[in-house]
Structure 1
Amino acid sequence: TIRIALWSSEEQGLFGSRGYVAKHFGDPKTMVLTPDHKKISAYYNLDNGTGKIRGIYLQGNASAGPIFQSWLTPFADLGAKTVTISNTGGTDHQAFDAVGIPGFQFIQDPADYNTRTHHSNMDTYDRLVEDDLKQASTIVASFVYNTSQRDAQIPRKELPTVPAAAATNS
């Protein structure tokens, strides 16, 4: 099964994705996980405007690096080559990562995103770059398809530990 989701209230605190994760996969405050937690292989996020994909952040998940590098290889001529161990924040993949589900954000060209359109009345349909969106949708579709066809799930990092305050209140 492949799920596609659009989130609301990301800018107010990732409320849409955090609510979805809490309902379907687990509570990051207690690390009480649902049965569906073990069924999800990965979460991929594209959240930085219309720009082309240039790579993917591993969010510290080194074991996913060789897999993703091989998946990006066919797209090198489209400029998508980077696989970085780095974390990036401020977007919905963090809700999944917080409960131990491999969550990844694609690296994108900024285009006008941070300087002109992000969170402004200039963030309109006519600012979309069709060729960039075609490239990005092709790469995202490839990652999702490859994930669904793997015999094994995408490797996971160790489960996060329960925050100390939550552990003492349970």
Structure 2
Amino acid sequence: MPPVLCIIHCSSLALHNAYGLLPAAKAPLLGKLLSSAPIRTYGQLSGSRTGHGFFAPQVASMFMVQLLRETPGDTIRWNGPVLRTGGGKTRYVVFLNQCQHLLPSAGEGKGNPARKRVVEATLHRMARHELPPTAYPTRCVVYAVRHVPLGTPHGAAKPTLAVAYDQCTTAIRKP
């Protein structure tokens, strides 16, 4: 990539990310700059408007896993493993991306029952490994992040979470 394009792209990413962190009322000049035709068009074409560009390393998955166990006296909530190495983080993101097979819609790789069973089995193993044994069932929820469509004015919408999978497992084992 030519150095000039790198500078333009990084500047565009920085401006969009800064605007996303500030309330619109505190950054009116930045809002006007980002809505100008050249910057808006470049952001739409390059993807820098979404916070990720065409050379963004380690882009987060669009899925999140949460395990819940409700007992009469307490609720245990697990939102992800403690990952200390880059390799562990990469493997976890790859697994999260496999959660696309839990989605009901058709498409490449979606709707494959064998892949769906593998992801479900992995989720059950995670629940057994990460939560203490108990007689109470564990609820596994996979959320999909709905990103704001390109072309949406800044501040008009924020990414939301949608439940992609919600399954209650049987009790892991009795204490």
Task: With the length of structure 1 as denominator, give the TM-score of the two structures.
Answer: 0.26
Between structures 1 and 2, the one with greater strand share? 2
Higher Cα Rg: structure 1 or 2? Answer: 2
Greater RCO between the two (CA within 8 Å, min separation 6)? Answer: 1
